[in-house]
Amino acid sequence: MDDIAPAPATLATRYAAIRAHTEALVAALSPEDQCVQSMPDASPAKWHRAHITWFFEQFLLTQHVPRYQVFDPAFVYLFNSYYEAVGARHPRPMRGLLTRPTAEQISAYRAHVDQAMQTWLHILPPDLVELGLQHEQQHQELLLTDILHAFAQNPLAPAAEPLWREPPAVAGPTKFRHYPRAVVRIGHAGQGFAFDNELPRHEVLLADYAIADRLVRNRDWQDFIADRGYATASLWMSDGWATVQTNGWQAPLHWGEDGTQMGLGGRTPIEPDAPVRHISWYEADAFARWAGARLPTEGEWEAAAADLHEATTHVWQWTDSAYRPYPGFKAPGGAVGEYNGKFMVNQMVLRGGSMATPPGHARATYRNFFHPDKRWQFTGLRLARDL
């Protein structure tokens, strides 16, 4: 491998840009900020930076570059997330205890891997490189939501992104778009990148339905609270009601009793006409029932996506669809096959994208997924109705 050839310009440029974007997201964070883990579901910013680098090292460089020298053999254990085929790993709830390696060492790790990736990009499988880049973009969003959760616990309410600007909302009123009964095809159509959980494309039967053209607002949620929505058991699924009672939920996550909301730019007054965010599936489902509506299925959402306002700009939108494999789904072989398939149970699908989703990462067929009680992501809802 002495005849090093230049990598295709588009892939090399894309690799450099996405890797640089991760570093830009942590530019305002101190080394202390990068080590904090505010709950077991979250990970330190430093860990995110290292894990997405480990992905390239583990699945590309060590597999396809014979003379590649790993940066530090211990990192295989420290920064493996959930790949059983790779081996043992540091427990997720204890990632915040990793004061070593330092943030500076993680920067050196990233530089080491970046140099090797750019040198050998021309011989690496482009589809696997692209998976690594899409994986990094997923972690860019997680990095932001995790540090936001951490900063929300800090009385100083620091800004994770000091120059952050909220995306503008579409002016009302909300209108419901009607769709007739039809057999539609959903799933990735085969052009461009898609995760395996977006495949295969298949037919679904949709009954007559209507779907809101914009997202539910903070103002609407304040009305739900005022009408004792969090205290009315009949609105909730049994598990949801138990979760509300156990955790003492009375409002979306990051809402303060003083009428403020914690965001990436710090703590600011709740904007009544902005889309509500940081709600669980349980809360979205209860609100929809209170509003005399329901959550859309993921098939309904995808069929209507081209007509919807705020589809990818503010919050991921909870659907009424359980996260299950599409008919005919087959996970790829090897460790990469663990990426999505083994999580297809006990979670709910979200569609769209959020204000923290990296540019160019969202698409109409994208299937995000979380457990129904989770709400630290930028999650919200739009309503649907039967006709």
The confidence score (pLDDT) of residue 190 equals 79
- Is the same domain home to 219 and 313? yes
The enclosing H or E element of 117 equals helix 103-120
pLDDT tier for residue 95 given thresholds of 50, 70 and 90: very high
pLDDT by residue (tens digit) across 240-290?
Answer: 999 999 999 999 999 999 999 999 999 999 999 999 999 999 999 999 999
What does the pLDDT read at residue 62? 97
| pLDDT, tens only, 322-365 | 999 999 999 888 888 888 889 999 999 999 999 999 999 999 99
125 and 231 in a common domain: no
Residue 329 pLDDT: 96
> What pLDDT sits at residue 8?
57
What's this model's pTM, rounded to 2 decimal places?
Answer: 0.96
Examine the domain organization and report whether 60 and 188 are in the same domain.
no
Task: Say whether both 148 and 218 belong to one domain.
Answer: no
Residue 346, exposed/middle/buried by CB under 10 A (0-12, 13-18, 19+)? Answer: exposed
247/194 same-domain check? yes
Residues 263 and 148 sit within 8 Å (Cβ to Cβ): yes
Q: How far apart are CA 366 and CA 294, in angstroms?
A: 21
pLDDT of 47 > 70? The answer is yes
- Same-domain pairing of 183 and 241: yes
pLDDT of residue 333: 85
Arithmetic mean of pLDDT over the chain: 96
pLDDT at 1: 30
Give the torsion sign (CA, 257, 260, 264, 266). Answer: negative
Asked if residue 187 and residue 39 are part of one domain, the reply reads no
Residues 6 or more apart from 136 whose CB is under 8 A from it?
A: 18, 19, 22, 52, 55
In a domain, 71, yes or no: yes
Mean pLDDT of 14-23: 97
The share of the chain scoring above pLDDT 90, in percent, equals 94
pLDDT higher than threshold 70 for residue 121: yes
Question: From its phi and psi, is residue 360 left (phi > 0), alpha (psi between -120 and 50) or beta?
Answer: left
161 belongs to a structural domain:
no
What is each CA distance from 273 to 76, 157, 283, in whole angstroms?
46, 23, 19
Beginning with the edge strand found earlier in the chain, give each strand of the sheet holding 209-212 in spatial order: 176-179, 209-212, 384-386
Residues 199 and 347 reside in one and the same domain: yes
Q: What is the pLDDT of residue 5?
A: 46
User: What pLDDT is stored for residue 7 in this prediction?
Assistant: 57
Arithmetic mean of pLDDT, 17-46: 98
H helix count then E strand count, the chain = 10, 11
Q: What is the DSSP letter of 297?
A: P
pLDDT band (50, 70, 90) for residue 2: very low
Cβ–Cβ contacts within 10 Å for residue 84, how many? 11
Look at residue 318 and tell me if it is in a domain. yes
C-alpha distances in Å from residue 2, one per residue of 66, 67, 120, 193, 324: 12, 11, 11, 31, 46
In terms of domains, do 202 and 264 share one? yes
Inside any domain, residue 163? no
Residue 158 forms part of a structural domain = no
Within a domain: residue 366?
yes
205 with 142, same domain: the answer is no
pLDDT at 3 (0 to 100): 38
CATH of the domain at 252: 3.90.1580.10
Q: What is the pLDDT of residues 186-241, one digit of tens each?
A: 999 978 999 999 999 999 999 999 999 999 999 999 999 999 999 999 999 999 99
**Number of domains making up the chain:** 2
In the predicted model, what is the mean pLDDT of residues 303-324?
98
Which residues span the domain enclosing 355?
176-386
Give the whole-number percent of the chain exceeding pLDDT 70: 98
Indicate if 46 and 122 belong to the same structural domain: yes
Structure tokens at 286: 């209860």
Q: Residue 289: in which H helix or E strand, if any?
A: helix 281-290
pLDDT score of 44 more than 50: yes
Q: Which residues contact 142 (CB under 8 A, 6 or more apart)?
A: 43, 48
Is 283 among the domain residues? Answer: yes
Tell me, yes or no, whether 165 lies in a domain. no
Paired tokens of 234: 């009949």
Q: Do 27 and 142 lie in a common domain?
A: yes
* Contact assessment for residue 279 and residue 381, using Cβ atoms and an 8 Å cutoff: yes
